[in-house]
Structure 1
């Protein structure tokens, strides 16, 4: 029974990973598609491949998710907590995807873990949540906004005497590289969150010791995220690529370069599971603000901000409800 439950948890974790891929595909390629630097299907294929490669670049974030957020009980009770967390995260991902809101799959998963733990009267590592989730959640969009604006202003100054048409063509080519870098960062960050949850399930089920990620967990997590990315999240892509600002190639390039830098830094230097969605969205807002403040559709940005704020509590609520239902069935 225990082994069968672990298999179910792993399968649901891969479903979450898949929804993460198509929900967050826009993060990597929306700017490049919007500026016509890449055709949509070409961009998705490139993003899927780079997501796959990025997943193999580290496991530090996986350790944070698996061991630094909650203390799940051993045995069946712990597996129900993990399964409920995944159900809560998937539920919120699908709701926000339906409305075309680029919310954070990362924070949905964190919210799911916290909600399921609280519903089970389990322990939440609040110090870890504060240090690894809340502080990066607040700081990463601010850093992304400010740094993207700075990068854009630097590019404007460097190429102030350039020919607009030639510059536009050049930056379209450059966006092929920056979009690939963004997709690599997404794979580095987001595949690890599913790895962490799978390892957590193996540990509480008694089939693994410590939080080192087995190679097969890396492989299946990378594959599910990559497949989901190729499926594409067209609703969210329209929001990021067209509805926030009218992007041009230089601004698309600046946003992608900035977001990629933030993703790599937080993963390698701090092992923090930050939101790729928040990072690229705030970077797009930053480059848009250098044009003029009115160029940004702040109403759309406000709707996105509301989704950001609601993600952790709503995913936690969904996970808590899932726990009560699953626990009642199991008992």
Structure 2
């Protein structure tokens, strides 16, 4: 019905665009589900491919770029999705997801910041990984969808957050979509990764240099949004929290703002979870410690194939599980408000006391 309403030519542009956004939101959820389900509705096991590090470059003192190339290229791979991130399995056993800056499914570039403190993935890639090393790539997914019905595209990024949107900004400029990047960095003279590509965006970039005392005013950005804007946000947690508050204060819908986190606070009080497995038709009670996630506990007990995941910071929704009962401290951005009543993100959200879920 939304598609039919969006096609009524006599309806005003603003109303038609509202229906178009509803259609886009539904199709986005369908595409996300299709990434982990086959045509029979069964879970698809994650396939891992071997990639070689063919280039490693220091972009800034904190950020390095890596170009990965498939050992056995897939001739039917097609094009890389905009805003995609890749799930890596490192030789030391760690699994991490990082934004793809550009490339194809057979050869692509990552931008990786050294976390402070590191959970092990970024420190390994910065200090140990070398050109010629082999890493494995699992799911390549995206939850960033180009908002074709928007008249303006406003990007808000901080530091390494630019990697989530750089390919989109370049594409939007190429096809002449009106776009603006608000980019906050620690020091514009030394802390800007992919500098030449950002500079090529020229007048569509507004940079804020903390070393010069410049601060991005997120409230002012939201209050000054042009009509029919779509906003994309990726940066440190404080930036994300402020943007979320401003978006809610101005009544922006979840289909008008996209939040892409590159990190997440997953710690909290321990809790218990009763897990019903649709495959095994049985239930198990598990304990989740203060410094581990529900996803980690589920993978440890059931295995990687039974508990799919991708970004693991609450962006993509791949790790969503059915919430049967109990209270949840919801974190992450991929679930709509109405979805939180009967679902949770196992990678970042935490139960309160005891909860029951189904996988």
TM class, shorter-length? under 0.3
The higher-RCO structure (CA 8 Å, 6+ apart) is: 1
| Structure (1 or 2) with the larger CA radius of gyration | 2
TM-score calculated relative to the size of structure 1:
0.25
Task: From the two aligned structures, give the one with the greater helix fraction.
Answer: 1
TM-score calculated relative to the size of structure 2:
0.24
